[in-house]
Amino acid sequence: MNLLESAGLGLALGFSLAVPPGPMNALIASVSTRSSRAGTVTAFGAMSSDMLLGALVFSLNAVVDLREIVRPVDALGAVVLAYFGIRILTRREDPNPPTTSGVRTFSQGLALGLTNPFQILWWLTAGLAFARLGGPVLLVGLFGAVGTWVVVFPYAIHAGARRYPKLRSGVAIVSAGIMLAFAAYFAALAL
């Protein structure tokens, strides 16, 4: 595989990881309705979790049979997703919301990313297989795509929420619903 093919495959894989609707994009969308900056910082937390998971999978793959951790990962993911889903539903809409710290929003994205079974399983399967195939150039393309998404998506959500204020409550309800549905799914898998 040449460098251009590796980079192209990396971009495609990066968008396959970042774009699909799921718990992470639900959290990013919910945060982004209040602030595009906070949404982007949350998304960079998620991207950091992908970097950590990728490094961990590559490091542990030679030493541990990673299939043994799937059930505990599903159980932990179900708890974290339920927590974030309930938190979104119970959050009160403040007409003058306080400024959210960058550390807090980054930590939310990082925590959800490190416990999101879909992200973990993606790295254990597709991420590991394709990174072996395309090497470092593929990973550069992958994180280039993820980096693009984590800037564009929060900005688009925030712009939509500013233009259509009622979109905020809709995004919150849909985001919480996605998280709670995934929490139930992963709880069932863990059992």
What pLDDT score does 62 carry?
62
DSSP 82-129: HHHHHHHHH----SSPPPPPHHHHHHHHHHHHHH-HHHHHHIIIIIHH
Q: What is the pLDDT of residue 28?
A: 93
**For residue 159, what are the contacts with CB-CB under 8 A and spacing of at least 6?**
36
| Residue bearing the bigger pLDDT, 137 or 126 | 137
Asked if residue 42 has pLDDT above 70, the reply is yes
Q: Is the pLDDT of residue 2 over 60?
A: yes
Q: Range with the lowest mean pLDDT among 67-76, 134-143, 159-168?
A: 67-76
CA neighbor of 154 nearest in space, from 66, 65, 28: 28
Which pLDDT score is estimated for 3?
Answer: 82
The residue ranges of every structural domain in the chain are 3-190
- What pLDDT does residue 66 have? 59
Q: What is the pLDDT of residues 77-91, one digit of tens each?
A: 788 878 888 887 887
The 10s digit of each residue's pLDDT in 154-175 is 999 999 999 998 888 888 888 8
